[in-house]
């Protein structure tokens, strides 16, 4: 196994190269002797995990916090993104003196299996062919992502995580961590998530996938080989999904029925309304950094997620005599993962006598609230980690 | 909405609420406790600091819950009337209902659940048999308002008031063993232990009961 840090000076603009040689990231390589056993019944080997770390691991290796990213996130949680040059996706939460304080904790954020920012996924090079995997890449699950992360922790020599935190698909990974490896998770912060993807959420994902596959440039998933890019389909998928991350109230507050750079309608199909222009921008900026096939694989992984199904349909059995402390958080205006989903997690944890906190935060910002400036969210995460830190014997400064 | 005006409850010289100290003194050290209606977490904090308990809480108000969680307490948003049913039998050593009984819709069902979930239950409540309450109804002819129960009849969250006598009656009816009881007067001092129940019922402003299952 070799550690490689790739200098950010290296030029790489096309997706396959970023997928194989991620900029400004650490990469752990797992050789053919360390296969990743997938739920689909096949083994992935060799494979690699791109990740970032922040802060310092303490002497007894007890202050590691794993941050799990959401569907379109990546390992760049608290640094300038090498592709977009924008701030990290959770800089409000992770950093020096932030709620997940990098002065106290050693934060690890890996890119998930199936993604496109340096961890093995459909746009990575298939070692058997020397060409991008495309649809030959096996279908992966949330459990596969977590299995891969566990191998990364073994590689880093971290036996137990002080905490695992994440929102949305990241929250699903948190729940999977707590059920797959309860003894390795001291505390868990599943935010704005659920123990299973609802029919409505699967339906939205299917619309996104169909948009990608309907783009003639998708070429049956072989666009990397044929030199095309289904950016229109991917942009439409992103536009549709983006609406589900917001709320009616937030859209109204932000855009209302305002016109974009004009006073009257043009009686055409231009982006007359501000909200249209905003969505088009969201779509076009997304395709610059994301791979269409990865979008298919990761949405599929979320669709397949059903924690209770792994425990004979009884959710409480997933958490039976769990030693982990949980802090479940939801947002009032999140209709993608509504509070009722979080409440189901809490009921199951109560039924297992788990130590659980649950807070619902009032906001009109919808599902995306977990990524935004929500002072109450920060206070709760900070308080929960402080309390868990005391119980774990972590001193104020490690 | 708070059930009582906590600011008006008597406090010890160190600032702790006397009724909560009374509750805490009934709890063994190092046990597992569920505080139903835990408010801003004052009792849970007191219990973890003085009795070294593994404490959990349920609170109806979102503000209370978020304040508790930000303090590092294991508290969830929930309703005593509906959510106790989700807890398994014998999950806790003590289940505490502090100044919340009178605000529940089904006090009897809540009490039964408490003793199913926990080996012991501790219940504290304002005594509606206190002489000041009796006099207000008798002579002034209006629904009683006191320092700790300041609400008007039309906006009070306290919908099931009872007296110490009433509560003892309920314990008998559902076959609960009364381990210990304390009544506090308006200044927060405990009434003499050998005083008769009618005396407690007249001069106790608040009562704290420690209960356990029979048999």
Do A226 and A329 lie in one domain? The reply is no
- Do the domain assignments include residue A21? yes
pLDDT at A8 over 70: no
The CATH number covering residue A143 comes to: 3.40.50.1820
Q: Which pair of structure tokens corresponds to residue A395?
A: 């001193």
Read off the pLDDT of residues A247-306 as tens digits, 9 standing for 90 and up. Answer: 999 999 999 999 999 999 999 999 999 999 999 999 999 999 999 999 999 999 999 999
Q: Which pair of structure tokens corresponds to residue B96?
A: 């505490």
Do A171 and A317 lie in one domain? The reply is yes
Catalogue all structural domains in chain B, each as residue range(s) with its CATH number: 6-213 (3.40.50.150)
Read off the pLDDT of residues A110-119 as tens digits, 9 standing for 90 and up. Answer: 999 999 999 9
What pLDDT does B192 receive?
Answer: 81
Say which of B62, B71, B88 has its CB closest to residue A360. B62
Read off the pLDDT of residues A101-111 as tens digits, 9 standing for 90 and up. Answer: 999 999 999 99
Do A210 and A172 lie in one domain? The reply is no
* Contact in structure between B27 and B53 (CB atoms under 8 Å): yes
Cis peptide bond N-terminal to A46, omega within 30: yes
Read off the pLDDT of residues A357-379 as tens digits, 9 standing for 90 and up. Answer: 999 999 999 999 999 999 999 99
- Do the domain assignments include residue A305? no
Do A176 and A27 lie in one domain? The reply is yes
Say which of A325, A358, A386 has its CB closest to residue B77. A358
Q: How many CB pairs under 8 A join A and B?
A: 65
- Do the domain assignments include residue A306? no
> Residue A251 burial (CB < 10 Å; 0-12/13-18/19+)?
middle
- Do the domain assignments include residue A159? yes
pLDDT at A195 over 50: yes
d(CA A172, CA A187): 15
Could you say which of A274, A299, A324 is where a domain stops?
Answer: A299
d(CA A280, CA A96): 35
The whole-chain average pLDDT of chain A stands at 94
Could you tell me the pTM of the whole model? 0.92
Q: Which of A290, A145, A114, A144 is nearest to A208 (CA)?
A: A290
Q: Please indicate if any CB of chain A lies within 8 Å of the CB of B54.
A: yes
Do A205 and A185 lie in one domain? The reply is no
- Do the domain assignments include residue A397? no
What pLDDT does A70 receive?
Answer: 98
Q: Are B77 and A360 in contact (CB < 8 Å)?
A: yes
What pLDDT does B186 receive?
Answer: 83
Question: Which whole-number Å values give the CA distances from A360 to A329, A373, B7, in the listed order?
Answer: 6, 15, 27
What is the distance in angstroms between the CA of the first residue and the CA of the last residue of chain B? Answer: 38
Q: Are A382 and B70 in contact (CB < 8 Å)?
A: yes
Look-up: residue for tokens 């304002």? B126
What pLDDT does A4 receive?
Answer: 42
* Contact in structure between A113 and A44 (CB atoms under 8 Å): yes
- Do the domain assignments include residue A398? no
SS3 B55: strand
What's the rounded mean pLDDT across residues A333-355?
95
Could you say which of A299, A334, A361 is where a domain stops?
Answer: A299
Provide the residue range defining the domain that includes A167: 3-197+311-392
d(CA A312, CA A329): 26
pLDDT at A397 over 80: no
What pLDDT does B214 receive?
Answer: 85
What's the rounded mean pLDDT across residues A335-352?
95
Question: Which whole-number Å values give the CA distances from A73 to A88, A90, A373, in the listed order?
Answer: 9, 9, 17
Do A134 and A117 lie in one domain? The reply is yes
Do A291 and A387 lie in one domain? The reply is no
d(CA A305, CA A174): 12
Residues A128-154, buried b or exposed e (16+ Cβ, 10 A)?
eeeebbbeebbbbbbbbbbbbbbbbbe
The phi, psi pair for B156, rounded to 5°, reads: -80, 140
Do A354 and A219 lie in one domain? The reply is no
What pLDDT does A1 receive?
Answer: 43
Domain count, chain A: 2
Do A248 and A331 lie in one domain? The reply is no
Say which of A347, A359, A384 has its CB closest to residue B65. A359
Enumerate the residues of chain B whose CB falls inside 8 A of the CB of residue A388. Answer: 72
Q: Are B72 and A388 in contact (CB < 8 Å)?
A: yes
Q: Which of A349, A44, A320 is nearest to A190 (CA)?
A: A349
pLDDT at A3 over 50: no
* Contact in structure between A244 and A336 (CB atoms under 8 Å): yes
* Contact in structure between A71 and A234 (CB atoms under 8 Å): no
Q: Which of B44, B128, B55 is nearest to B93 (CA)?
A: B55
Q: Please indicate if any CB of chain A lies within 8 Å of the CB of B69.
A: yes
For the residues of A369-383, what is the DSSP string, one character each? GGGS--HHHHHHHHH
Could you say which of A299, A320, A348 is where a domain stops?
Answer: A299
The CATH number covering residue A255 comes to: 1.10.1740.110
What pLDDT does B117 receive?
Answer: 95
Read off the pLDDT of residues A212-239 as tens digits, 9 standing for 90 and up. Answer: 999 999 999 999 999 999 999 999 999 9
User: Which 8-state DSSP code applies to residue A189?
Assistant: E
- Pairing outcome for strands A64-68 and A106-110: parallel
Do A385 and A343 lie in one domain? The reply is yes
What pLDDT does A259 receive?
Answer: 95
Do A137 and A221 lie in one domain? The reply is no
> Residues of chain B whose pLDDT is less than 50?
1
What pLDDT does A395 receive?
Answer: 73
Report the DSSP beta bridge partners of residue B92. Answer: B118
Look-up: residue for tokens 């299973």? A196
- Do the domain assignments include residue A161? yes
Q: Helices A292-304 and A169-180 sit at what angle, rounded to 10 degrees?
A: 50
What's CA A110's distance to the chain center, in Å? 9
pLDDT at A13 over 50: no
- Do the domain assignments include residue A148? yes
Read off the pLDDT of residues A44-96 as tens digits, 9 standing for 90 and up. Answer: 999 999 999 999 999 999 999 999 999 999 999 999 999 999 999 999 999 99
Do A215 and A102 lie in one domain? The reply is no
The phi, psi pair for A196, rounded to 5°, reads: -155, 150
What pLDDT does A396 receive?
Answer: 59
| A 332-391 → B contacts, CB under 8 A | 346-347, 350-351, 353, 355-362, 376, 379-380, 382-384, 386-388, 390
Q: Are B69 and A386 in contact (CB < 8 Å)?
A: no
């Amino acid at each position: 196994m070799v550690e490689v840090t790739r200098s950010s000076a290296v030029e790489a603009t096309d997706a396959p190269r970023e997928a194989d040689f991620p900029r400004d990231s650490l990469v752990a390589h797992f050789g053919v002797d360390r296969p990743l056993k997938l739920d689909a019944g096949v083994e992935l080997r060799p494979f690699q995990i791109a990740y970032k770390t922040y802060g310092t691991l303490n002497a007894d290796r007890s202050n590691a916090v794993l941050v799990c990213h959401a569907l379109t996130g990546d390992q760049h949680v608290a640094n300038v993104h090498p592709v977009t040059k924008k701030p990290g996706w959770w800089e409000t939460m992770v950093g020096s003196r932030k709620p997940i304080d990098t002065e106290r904790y050693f934060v690890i954020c890996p890119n998930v299996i199936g993604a496109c920012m340096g961890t093995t996924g459909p746009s990575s090079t298939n070692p058997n062919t020397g060409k991008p995997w495309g649809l030959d890449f096996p279908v992966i699950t949330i459990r596969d992502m977590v299995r891969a992360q566990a191998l990364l922790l073994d590689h880093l020599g971290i036996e137990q995580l002080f905490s695992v935190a994440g929102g949305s698909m990241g929250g699903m990974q948190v729940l999977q961590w707590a059920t797959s490896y309860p003894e390795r998770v001291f505390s868990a912060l599943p935010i704005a998530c659920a123990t299973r993807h609802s029919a409505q959420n699967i339906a939205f994902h299917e619309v996104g996938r169909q948009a990608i596959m309907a783009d003639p440039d998708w070429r049956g998933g072989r666009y990397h080989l044929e030199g095309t890019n289904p950016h229109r389909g991917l942009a439409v998928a992103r536009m549709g999904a983006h609406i589900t991350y917001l709320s009616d109230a937030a859209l109204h507050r932000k855009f209302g029925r305002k016109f974009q750079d004009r006073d009257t309608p043009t009686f055409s199909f231009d982006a007359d309304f501000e909200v249209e222009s905003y969505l088009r921008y969201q779509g076009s900026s997304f395709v610059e950094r994301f791979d269409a096939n990865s979008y298919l694989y990761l949405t599929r992984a979320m669709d397949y997620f059903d924690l209770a199904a792994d425990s004979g349909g009884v959710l409480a059995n997933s958490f039976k005599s769990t030693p982990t402390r949980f802090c479940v958080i939801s947002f009032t205006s999140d209709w993608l993962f509504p509070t009722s989903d979080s409440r189901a997690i809490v009921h199951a944890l109560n039924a297992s006598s788990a130590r659980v906190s649950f807070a619902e935060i009032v906001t009109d910002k919808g599902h995306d609230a977990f990524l935004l400036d929500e002072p109450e969210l920060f206070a709760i995460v900070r308080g929960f980690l402080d309390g868990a830190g005391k119980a774990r014997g972590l001193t104020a400064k490690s | 909405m708070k059930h009582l005006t906590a600011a008006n409850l008597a406090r010890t010289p160190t600032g702790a609420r006397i009724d909560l100290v009374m509750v805490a003194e009934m709890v063994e050290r190092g046990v597992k406790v569920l505080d139903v209606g835990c408010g801003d977490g004052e009792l849970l904090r007191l219990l973890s600091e003085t009795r070294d308990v593994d404490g959990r809480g349920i609170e109806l108000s979102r503000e209370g819950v978020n304040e508790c969680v930000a303090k590092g307490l294991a508290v969830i948003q929930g309703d005593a009337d509906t959510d106790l049913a989700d807890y398994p039998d014998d999950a806790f050593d003590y289940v505490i209902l502090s100044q919340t009984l009178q605000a529940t819709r089904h006090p009897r069902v809540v009490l039964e659940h408490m003793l199913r979930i926990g080996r012991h239950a501790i219940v504290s409540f304002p005594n509606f048999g206190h002489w000041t309450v009796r006099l207000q109804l008798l002579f002034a002819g209006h629904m009683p308002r006191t320092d700790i129960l300041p609400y008007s009849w039309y906006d009070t969250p306290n919908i099931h008031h009872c007296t110490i006598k009433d509560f003892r009656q309920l314990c008998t009816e559902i076959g609960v063993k009364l381990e210990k009881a304390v009544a506090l007067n308006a200044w927060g001092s405990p009434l003499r232990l050998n005083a008769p129940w009618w005396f407690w019922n007249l001069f106790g402003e608040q009562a704290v009961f420690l209960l356990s299952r029979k048999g």
